Amino acid sequence: GQQVMQIPQYQHVQEGEDFTTYCNSSTTLSNIQWYKQRPGGHPVFLIQLVKSGEVKKQKRLTFQFGEAKKNSSLHITATQTTDVGTYFCAGPGRDDKIIFGKGTRLHILP
């Protein structure tokens, strides 16, 4: 069936290092969204990408949507302790089902 794969599942970085998580879909997505869930919290919307090859930036966060609209990435520059959490990508699949990746859990080492 249709899947959205996220890698890595876990990532430990030193504070100040960069971090990237990747999202790959088995099918073309009309759009992709990214969410952040802090420990003990609920997912919070970060951004939506719609266009092929689209790149959007939010301060230290850079989001990309692949040319084929089957993959996406989130890159954080110079991580801070406030970046701790799990980052999910999500896209609308066939039959209007909303598919979330399993997420990448980011740990920041001080």
Q: Which residues contact 67 (CB under 8 A, 6 or more apart)?
A: 52, 53
| Nearest distance in Å: CB 39, other proteins | 12
DSSP states along 36-82:
EE-TTS--EEEEEE-STT-EEEETTEEEEE-TTSSEEEEEESS--GG
State the binding string over 40-59 for other proteins (x if CB under 8 A, else -).
Answer: -xxxxx--x-----------
Residue 88 interacting with other proteins (CB under 8 A): yes
Nearer to other proteins, 8 or 16 (CB): 8
Nearer to other proteins, 17 or 92 (CB): 92
How many chain residues touch other proteins (CB under 8 A)? 23
Tell me the pairing of strands 4-7 and 32-37: unpaired
Residue 103 interacting with other proteins (CB under 8 A): yes
| Nearest distance in Å: CB 4, other proteins | 9
